[in-house]
Amino acid sequence: MIRTVLFDLDGTLADTAPDLAFALNSLLAEAGRPPLPLAQIRPVASHGSPALIQLGFGITHPHADYEPLRQRLLAIYLANIARETQLFAGVAELLQEIEQRGLNWGVVTNKPAFLTEPLLAALQLRQRAASVVSGDTLAQRKPHPAPLLLASREAGSEPAACLYLGDAQRDIEAGRRAGMASLIASWGYIAADDQPEQWGADGSLTTPAQLLPWLSDRKLG
What does pTM read for this prediction? 0.95
How many other CB atoms sit within 10 Å of the CB of residue 33?
Answer: 12
Catalytic one among 8, 15, 167, 171?
8
Q: For 12-71, what is each residue's pLDDT tens digit?
A: 999 999 999 999 999 999 999 999 999 999 999 999 999 999 999 999 999 999 999 999
How many other CB atoms sit within 10 Å of the CB of residue 126?
Answer: 15
Q: In degrees rounded to 5, what are phi and psi of residue 181?
A: -65, 140
Binned at pLDDT 50, 70 and 90, residue 217 comes out as low
* Catalytic residue flag (residue 8): yes
Closest CA to 8 of 153, 143, 196, 102: 143
